[in-house]
Amino acid sequence: MNGTEGFPLRKCALVVLGALAIQAAALLAMGHPPICTCGTVKLWWGVVQSSENSQHIFDWYSFSHVIHGFIFYGLTWLALPRAPVLARFAIAVGVEATWEILENTPFVIERYRAGTISLNYYGDSVINSLSDNVCMIVGFVLARRLPISATIGAAVAMELIVGYVIRDNLTLNILMLVHPIDAIRAWQAGG
């Protein structure tokens, strides 16, 4: 990633590793398991309505975190156009780490369980949460490399595919977290 003027790669790496370490430590302190309590680590887990969702490395919600990277790249580019890309990257990792900690608080977990179809959601394992941040990193790097139209097209495609397959995606997740709608909840449940 180019753009180290005023923010060297070493400093960026320290900030990023620090944010990831704080993220992991906070989740462990809140009682989240390091890995799935089933005792295994799977690369992919595709069953949303199960106790193993958000417990393995990647799942259907990983695509939402790639989109987070697209969004954070765009927002930091707009808000800090003169900042080195590595500084904006470090900010994005810090924001994602902060969201991962907040998302795994009892308040937000209960909000998901009450307002969405995520009745079996008890929070992320540490490995899943860190993988979510890695997905955001992938999205940030892709947004830097791809034309804007390709980035937007990829985000729309991911939202449509994930929405079709699991009846949930980033857009619906935000909507149902902020303002649950019974008709959407019924559709998500298959009714």
pLDDT digits 0-9 by tens, 95-127: 999 999 999 999 999 888 876 666 678 899 999
**Residue percentage of the chain with pLDDT more than 90:** 82
Average pLDDT, the chain: 93
Cβ–Cβ under 8 Å, residues 177 and 116: yes
pLDDT digits 0-9 by tens, 71-81: 999 999 999 99
Question: How many angstroms separate the CA atoms of 98 and 20, rounded?
Answer: 10
Residue-level pLDDT at 117: 64
In degrees and rounded to multiples of 5, residue 59 shows phi and psi of -150, -175
pLDDT digits 0-9 by tens, 141-191: 999 999 999 999 999 999 999 999 999 999 999 999 899 899 998 898 885
Question: How many angstroms separate the CA atoms of 191 and 76, rounded?
Answer: 40
Residue-level pLDDT at 118: 67
Residue-level pLDDT at 46: 96
Identify the band that residue 65 occupies on the pLDDT scale cut at 50, 70 and 90.
very high
Residue-level pLDDT at 56: 98
The interaxial angle of helices 126-145 and 9-29, nearest 10 deg, is 150
Residue-level pLDDT at 190: 84
Residue-level pLDDT at 112: 82
Q: Which of 129, 136, 137, 116 is nearest to 181 (CA)?
A: 116
Q: Which of 68, 46, 57, 25 is nearest to 159 (CA)?
A: 68
Let me know the angle formed at the C-alpha of 28 by 111 and 41, rounded to the nearest 5 degrees. 90
Q: Indicate the residue type of 85.
A: V
Residue 5 has pLDDT above 90, yes or no: no
Question: How is residue 122 annotated by DSSP?
Answer: -
Structure tokens that stand for 117 in this block? 């179809």
